[in-house]
């Protein structure tokens, strides 16, 4: 994953101890470097201690940020003393950057409250936020009003802010591929391309017949097909799967890979039920699993807004995400439910997995036409869930996000499945139903709900419900 680069503004105010600004600059740059971030900051020669205090300082810092606008993913404002709130706001305005901003204020220490070492960052942060608010510039706060840059708490704040920056940057000019038409029975996955486009998210479409037509042109012994077939067999156990079906998967997967590459797509959503099974003789689940595992997420049933949720989770955590159904209750426990799909889950979700056939539709289209699922029980662990949708009546993108845990509860069933425990699950389900959300939900094995809610609400301007 590419390193995040932060533009750094060190606040200073003349009648507070300058030494605090000098030390503050060193401390924040050291902390960011130790945590794996690149930085763009004024040098000690460009302004007094490399801080921003005057209008002239703000112009210099803004010019530096503008010169590095293609590198900077977010801005960190550190206030080692009260700081100059006008300088902070002017820097951001004049830089032209529209990136997330984190405001950090260094805490005072009891016993060091004389004029020689009192910071007043506690108060200065309020003033800095006031000025940014007046200018209509969104910003993010640390989890505590004041927090030391060397603390474990600030490290977590930085980790969350990094996720926020990756989400905001990743959604700018995101490109998704819709392969095939929406399955007739799945009205639930309708969406508005135009509303997505207003947020910078484009959808490229291709008819399923075009994909299958290109598949027909491939010879069984084509080198590219052989390489794809080898990749499939290395990815997952294919025992008991007919070789002819694996060959079909390899051709289908190769054509999709090429289409993704040609169109520079960030993810795909693929038509499946039941055209692909009836007229081609496979399910695409393993191929979709492979794409999601390699951080090119793929969703079922041309569910583009479900794919968007997967992509957001992937940006936040830097790990694979999956699309699942809110599928069953789990006994009488009101805070547990079964998440299930056929499935196309990334293999990293499972303790162990194998390729199998799709049991649900095998009875109607024949078992021989449904090979290609990835089946197994989801391993226990932390999880974040997210769903996005377009509200066409209001012209908005809406989302809900929350956290839970996959449990080790036993379940004798098929497909890809797991039991998830979520606090106040019944309230969440009530919200999903009242708001008319889809039955699909995106999930990652991470804990990133706060960062996602902040990115989508504060910076993207979407309607977000953070479940707790």
In this structure, are residues 316 and 451 in contact, taking their beta carbons and an 8 Å threshold?
yes
Rounded to whole angstroms, how far apart are CA atoms 447 and 204? Answer: 31
Task: Give the pLDDT of residue 329.
Answer: 98
Burial group, residue 1, by CB count within 10 angstroms (0-12, 13-18, 19+): exposed
> What's the token pair of residue 55?
């209008």
DSSP state of 347: G
SS3 7: strand
Question: CB-hemisphere CA count at 13 Å for 337?
Answer: 18
Residue 422 has pLDDT above 90, yes or no: yes
DSSP state of 183: P
Residue 19 has pLDDT above 90, yes or no: no
CATH architecture of 5-171: 3-Layer(aba) Sandwich (3.40)
In this structure, are residues 124 and 81 in contact, taking their beta carbons and an 8 Å threshold?
yes
In this structure, are residues 443 and 382 in contact, taking their beta carbons and an 8 Å threshold?
no
Task: Give the pLDDT of residue 136.
Answer: 97
In this structure, are residues 295 and 320 in contact, taking their beta carbons and an 8 Å threshold?
yes
Mean pLDDT, rounded, of the chain: 96
Task: Give the pLDDT of residue 274.
Answer: 86
Task: Give the pLDDT of residue 403.
Answer: 98
Asked if 5-171 and 175-466 have one fold, the answer is no
Q: Which residues contact 222 (CB under 8 A, 6 or more apart)?
A: none
pLDDT in tens, 234-278: 999 999 999 999 999 999 999 999 999 999 999 999 998 888 999
In this structure, are residues 56 and 84 in contact, taking their beta carbons and an 8 Å threshold?
no
pLDDT in tens, 365-385: 999 999 999 999 999 999 999
Q: At what angle do helices 223-235 and 285-293 cross, to 10 degrees?
A: 80
pLDDT in tens, 131-173: 999 999 999 999 999 999 999 999 999 999 999 999 999 999 9
Band of residue 184 on the pLDDT scale cut at 50, 70, 90:
confident
Residue 116 has pLDDT above 80, yes or no: no
Residue 114 has pLDDT above 90, yes or no: no
Query: So where are the chain's domains?
Result: 5-171, 175-466
Query: Hey, what CATH topology would domain 175-466 get?
Result: L-fucose Isomerase; Chain A, domain 2 (3.40.275)
User: In this prediction, what percent of the chain has a pLDDT beyond 70?
Assistant: 100
Rounded to whole angstroms, how far apart are CA atoms 102 and 74? Answer: 8
pLDDT in tens, 288-345: 999 999 999 999 999 999 999 999 999 999 999 999 999 999 999 999 999 999 999 9
Rounded to whole angstroms, how far apart are CA atoms 89 and 73? Answer: 18
- Of 208-212, 273-277, 391-395, 417-421, least confident by mean pLDDT is 273-277
> What's the token pair of residue 422?
């979520």
Helix H, strand E, coil C: the string for 373-399 is EEEEEECCEEEEEEEEEEECCCCEEEE
pLDDT in tens, 24-41: 999 999 999 999 999 999
Note the pTM of the prediction, 2 decimals: 0.97
Rounded to whole angstroms, how far apart are CA atoms 149 and 119? Answer: 14
Task: Give the pLDDT of residue 172.
Answer: 96
Q: What are phi and psi of 266, to 5 degrees?
A: -95, -10
Rounded to whole angstroms, how far apart are CA atoms 79 and 105? Answer: 5
> What's the token pair of residue 261?
């590459």
């Amino acid at each position: 994953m590419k390193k995040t680069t932060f533009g750094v503004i060190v606040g200073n105010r003349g009648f507070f101890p300058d030494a605090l600004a000098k030390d503050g600059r060193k401390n924040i740059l050291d902390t960011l470097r130790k945590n794996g971030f690149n930085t763009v900051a004024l040098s000690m020669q460009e302004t007094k201690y490399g801080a921003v205090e005057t209008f002239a300082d703000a112009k210099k810092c803004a010019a530096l940020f503008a010169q590095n606008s293609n590198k900077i993913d977010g801005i960190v404002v550190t206030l080692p003393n009260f700081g100059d709130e006008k300088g902070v706001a002017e820097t951001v305005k004049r830089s032209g950057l529209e990136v997330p901003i984190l405001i950090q204020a260094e805490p005072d220490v009891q016993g060091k409250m004389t004029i020689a070492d009192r910071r007043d960052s506690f108060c200065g942060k309020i003033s800095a936020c006031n000025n940014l608010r007046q200018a209509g510039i969104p910003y993010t706060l640390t989890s505590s009003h004041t927090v030391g840059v060397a603390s474990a708490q600030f490290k977590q704040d930085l980790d969350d802010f990094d996720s926020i920056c990756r989400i905001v940057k990743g959604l700018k000019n995101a490109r998704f591929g819709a392969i095939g038409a929406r399955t007739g029975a799945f009205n639930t996955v309708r969406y508005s391309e135009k509303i997505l486009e207003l947020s910078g998210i484009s959808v490229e479409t291709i008819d399923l017949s075009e994909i299958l037509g290109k598949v027909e042109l491939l010879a069984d012994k084509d080198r590219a097909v052989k390489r794809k077939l080898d990749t499939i067999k290395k990815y997952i156990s294919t025992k008991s799967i007919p070789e002819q079906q694996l060959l079909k998967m390899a051709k289908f997967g190769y054509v999709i890979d090429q289409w993704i590459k040609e169109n520079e797509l960030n993810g795909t959503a693929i038509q499946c039920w039941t055209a692909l099974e009836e007229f081609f003789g496979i399910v695409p689940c393993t191929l979709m699993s492979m794409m999601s595992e390699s951080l090119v997420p793929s969703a079922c049933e041309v569910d583009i807004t479900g794919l968007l949720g997967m992509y957001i989770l992937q940006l936040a955590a830097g790990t694979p995400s999956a699309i699942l159904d809110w599928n069953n209750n789990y006994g009488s426990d009101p805070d547990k439910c079964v998440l299930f799909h056929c499935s196309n889950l990334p293999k990293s979700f499972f303790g162990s997995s194998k390729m199998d056939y799709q049991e649900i539709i095998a009875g109607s289209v024949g078992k021989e036409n449904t090979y290609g699922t990835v089946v197994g029980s989801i391993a226990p662990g932390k999880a974040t869930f997210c769903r996005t949708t377009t509200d066409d009546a209001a012209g908005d993108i809406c989302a809900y996000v929350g956290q839970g845990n996959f449990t080790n509860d036993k379940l004798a069933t098929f497909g890809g499945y797991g039991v998830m425990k979520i606090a106040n699950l019944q309230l969440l389900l009530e919200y999903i139903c009242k708001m008319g959300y889809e039955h699909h939900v995106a999930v990652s094995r991470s804990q990133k709900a706060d960062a996602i809610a902040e990115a989508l609400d504060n910076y993207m301007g979407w309607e977000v419900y953070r479940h707790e």
